[in-house]
Structure formats: C-alpha cells, structure tokens
Amino acid sequence: MARSIDDQLTKYLTDAHSIEEQTLQQLRGAPDAAGDPELARLFREHLAETERHERLIRERLEARGATPSRVKDLVMRAGGAGFLLFARVQPDTPGKLTAHAFSYEHLEVAAYECLISVARRAGDDETVSVGRTILADEQRMSERLAAAFPRAVDASLPPPPDLDCGDISYRRFRVIYTVPDPDPHRFDSDRDGIGCES
Ligand SMILES: [Fe+2]
Ligand SMILES: [Fe+2]
C-alpha cells in the first residue's frame, strides 16, 4: 500500500531511532570487551555521540507527533529483529567486535542517507539538518574503526608463551642484542650474551 511522504518520513525516523537504541545497547558493553585502551576510548566516545543521536531523532519524532508509546512499540519490534542479527555475529574477540561495530556504522550511514533523502522530499529541513549532523558522526566513526583494525587484530591474538630455561633443552647459547626485543623470555638474565648458563 502506498504511503504518504509524511508517513514514510516518520517510518524512516522510527527505523533510525531503533538502530540508535540497538547501537547504544552494544556500545555500552564494547569498551570492556575491546581488549585495547585505544579501541575502548573509541567506543566510549561514540557512546556519547550515540546518546546524542538517540535524543535528536526522538525529538524529531516527537515534533512530528509520533506518540512515545507508538515509537516504543516500533522500536521494540525492530529491536527484536536486530537482536537476532546481533546474536548470530556475537563478538567474542576485539577483532570480531570491531568488525561488527564497523558493519553497524555502515548500517547507520545507509539509514541516514535514506532518511535525509526522504526528509528532503517531504520538505522537513530540520530533519535534513539533524540527519546530516549525525551522518557525519557515523562516517567518522566508521573511518576510525577501519584505521583501528590492526590494533583489534593484535588485541585478539593470544599472548605469546613465557618460557623458562627448564622448558627448553638448549644451554649456553648466544643471545644477540642487535635485534628488536632480543630476549623476550629473559634466558640471559645477567645480560652477558649467553643464555641459560646452568
Ligand atoms: Fe548513531
Ligand atoms: Fe554510530
């Protein structure tokens, strides 16, 4: 059934709002799961931005006369579907968490591109302006996440084993100090260039 452009705009705003609600839920746990201080900071900063997005979109919905209960119902329904998707890609390592967050930012980018386009056709300049502000935040976050992929991969790798001389059969071997991180296991504790002397 064809909808009026105003109905369409309310629907796109409702969708954007439910995506922000989903993102809020996910970002609240993300800093603890990040496994890296820089990644954790990224998630915390975007959590603050996302709280602002949620409020801005809710205000646009209210300005259009969408009643809070109707908004809430739609959010709950959309939220359920979104949660299934989330469960399937449950991030259990910093790498997967970052990849998942990256996909979510792009979902938001697409949602705001569509919202802006519908709002422009409906002549709702305030929603166009709000949409552009939020879109810029989402694009910046996805770029920052992409730049953080190497950190996320590092944070996902298990720490290397810490060996003692008792764990290896070699004795009195040369330790070369002209390389980066020459003696990570401290085989040469007196630093005389000979490892595992006894
Ligand atoms: Fe957002
Ligand atoms: Fe976002």
Nearest to 101 by CA among 56, 152, 157: 152
CATH architecture of 5-156: Up-down Bundle (1.20)
pLDDT greater than 80 at residue 14: yes
Q: Which residues of 20-49 are buried (b: 16+ CB within 10 A; e: fewer)?
A: bbbbeebbeebbebbbbeebbebbeebbeb
Residue 184 scores a pLDDT above 70: yes
Q: Residues 82-98: pLDDT tens digits?
A: 544 554 555 568 888 89
Tell me how far apart the alpha carbons of residues 156 and 150 are, in angstroms, rounded to a whole number: 10
Contact (CB, 8 A) for 156 and 35: yes
Distance 23 CA to ligand 2 centre (A): 7
* DSSP category for residue 166: G
3 CA distance to ligand 2 centroid (A)? Answer: 28
Ligand 1 center from residue 2 Cα (angstroms)? 29
State residue 87's pLDDT score.
44
Residues 6+ apart with CB under 8 A from 58: 17, 71
Ligand with the closest atom to the CA of 140 = 2
**Separation of CA 130 and ligand 2 centre (Å):** 14
Model confidence pLDDT, tens digit, residues 103-144: 999 999 999 999 999 999 999 999 999 999 999 999 999 999
Section 159-166 average pLDDT? 86
Name residue 173's beta-bridge partners.
195
Cα torsion 28, 33, 37, 43: sign: negative
pLDDT of 47: 95
- What pLDDT, in 10s, does the model give residues 15-68? 899 899 888 888 888 888 888 999 999 999 999 999 999 999 999 999 998 865
CATH 1.20.1260.10 placement within the chain? 5-156
Given a cut of 50, whether residue 148 has pLDDT beyond it is yes
- Ligand 1 (single-atom ion) residues, CB below 5 Å: 50, 53, 108
Closest CA to 27 of 13, 41, 8: 41
